[in-house]
């Protein structure tokens, strides 16, 4: 038996079609939707991701505003781009592509984003709302993971979920999201200090691998029939490598591959956050 594919690529395309209709409806009411990006430096991966985000915007009818700053940009220059997007009414939401080049204070930049325009949900105010279980923009990757599980009817309520990785953009935020009453999962959050990783993954109904360690999760670490989602992004000899080994397909019940799984869902949720913020402001 091989695992059912959690096809993030096809699901994200369906979501973009839905969003396109909602963007048209907003425009008919005179409400524009614009996504900004701030990219610093010349990392080829980051450039590729930002390009994909702008292509998605064009498809859905969202205006895009783009700031590309050189690798030697100063903290002030980055913060000036952020201030401009905060002040520009054509920009209804934006992101600062992470990681920023060494020497820049990432947290200080994130804190200067207007929380109402925070399309990534990474401003401390919005992360605080997540901790407090109040409404607000959610980090795109965790939101995409929950949406993917929901659309493929993977049971989440009451499930044992083991998340590997404690980063803010994925692991830690996902733990907070999945333990809300509306998701109701039991979460084990593993990290580099975890003593027996396999013991934690083997008991899980759902494993989310977001450690950035190529091939970390192998077939022997997975309970038969479990859902395994590969969120690892590493480059091995210039090629994209996930955290999940190929043999996992033979034991898992569902697999979200990388590429083609959670990545496209992350981009779709970025658009969803921008559209939802515009809809909320149109209601106000």
By CB under 6 A, tell whether 67 contacts ligand GUE.
Answer: no
Q: Which stretch binds ligand GUE (CB under 6 A): 47-55, 60-68, 127-135, 151-159?
A: 47-55
By CB under 6 A, tell whether 173 contacts ligand GUE.
Answer: no
Catalytic residues: 53, 97, 120
Token pair of 47 as six digits? 């450039």
Q: x/- contact string, 130-169, with ligand GUE (CB under 6 A)?
A: ----------x-----------------------------
**DSSP labels for 202-261?**
HT-SEEEE-S--TT-B-GGGS-TT-EEEE---EEETTEEE-SB-GGGGGT-SEEE-TTTS
Taking the least distance from each CB to ligand GUE, the nearer of 33 and 96 is: 96
By CB under 6 A, tell whether 49 contacts ligand GUE.
Answer: yes
- According to DSSP, the residues that pair with 39 across neighbouring strands are 68
Q: Residue with CB nearest ligand GUE?
A: 263
Buried-state track 44-75, b at ≥16 Cβ within 10 A, e below 16? eebeebbeebeebbeebbbebbebebeeebee
Q: Are 164 and 216 in contact (CB under 8 A)?
A: yes
By CB under 6 A, tell whether 94 contacts ligand GUE.
Answer: no
Taking the least distance from each CB to ligand GUE, the nearer of 120 and 205 is: 120
Give the count of beta carbons closer than 10 Å to the beta carbon of residue 91.
Answer: 23
By CB under 6 A, tell whether 98 contacts ligand GUE.
Answer: yes
Q: Determine whether the annotation assigns residue 238 to a binding site.
A: no
By CB under 6 A, tell whether 11 contacts ligand GUE.
Answer: no
Give the count of beta carbons closer than 10 Å to the beta carbon of residue 210.
Answer: 25
Give the containing element (helix H, strand E) for 69.
strand 63-69
By CB under 6 A, tell whether 266 contacts ligand GUE.
Answer: yes
Q: Determine whether the annotation assigns residue 61 to a binding site.
A: no
By CB under 6 A, tell whether 13 contacts ligand GUE.
Answer: no
Q: Determine whether the annotation assigns residue 233 to a binding site.
A: yes
By CB under 6 A, tell whether 263 contacts ligand GUE.
Answer: yes
Q: Determine whether the annotation assigns residue 158 to a binding site.
A: no
By CB under 6 A, tell whether 121 contacts ligand GUE.
Answer: no
By CB under 6 A, tell whether 264 contacts ligand GUE.
Answer: yes
Could you say which residues in the range 183-242 bind ligand GUE, by CB under 6 A? Answer: 233, 240
Question: Which of 33, 15, 6, 10 is CA-nearest to residue 268?
Answer: 15
List helix spans (H) across the chain: 8-28, 44-60, 75-87, 106-111, 124-132, 140-151, 173-178, 197-202, 262-283
SS3 192: coil
Q: Which of 14, 198, 259, 281 binds ligand GUE (CB under 6 A)?
A: 259
Site residues (vs ligand GUE, CB under 6 A): 9, 48-49, 52, 95-98, 120, 140, 233, 240, 258-260, 263-264, 266-267
Binding-site entries for NADP(+): 165-167, 233
């Amino acid at each position: 038996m091989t695992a059912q594919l959690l096809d993030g690529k096809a699901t994200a395309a369906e979501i973009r079609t839905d969003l396109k209709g909602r963007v048209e409806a907003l425009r008919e009411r005179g409400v524009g939707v614009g996504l900004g990006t701030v990219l610093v430096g010349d990392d080829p991966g980051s450039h590729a991701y930002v390009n994909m985000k702008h292509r998605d915007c064009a498809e859905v009818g969202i205006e895009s505003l783009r700031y590309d700053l050189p690798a030697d940009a100063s903290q002030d220059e980055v913060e000036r781009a952020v201030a401009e997007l905060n002040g520009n009414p054509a920009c209804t939401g934006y992101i600062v592509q992470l990681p920023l080049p060494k020497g820049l204070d990432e947290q200080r930049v994130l804190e200067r984003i207007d929380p109402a325009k925070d399309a990534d949900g990474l401003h401390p105010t919005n992360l605080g709302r997540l901790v407090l279980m109040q409404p607000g923009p959610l980090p795109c990757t965790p939101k995409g993971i929950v949406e993917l599980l929901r659309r493929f009817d993977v049971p989440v309520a009451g499930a044992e979920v083991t998340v590997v990785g404690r980063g803010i953009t994925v692991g830690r935020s996902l733990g907070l999201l999945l333990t809300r009453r509306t998701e109701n999962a039991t979460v084990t959050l593993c990290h580099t200090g975890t003593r027996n990783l396999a013991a934690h993954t083997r008991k899980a109904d759902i494993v989310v691998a977001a450690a950035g360690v190529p091939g970390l999760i192998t077939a022997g670490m997975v309970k038969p029939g479990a859902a395994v989602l590969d969120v690892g992004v590493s480059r091995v000899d210039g090629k994209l490598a996930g955290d999940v080994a190929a043999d996992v397909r033979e034991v898992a019940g569902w697999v979200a591959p990388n590429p083609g799984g959670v990545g496209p869902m992350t981009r779709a949720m970025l658009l969803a956050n921008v559209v939802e913020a515009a809809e909320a402001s149109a209601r106000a």
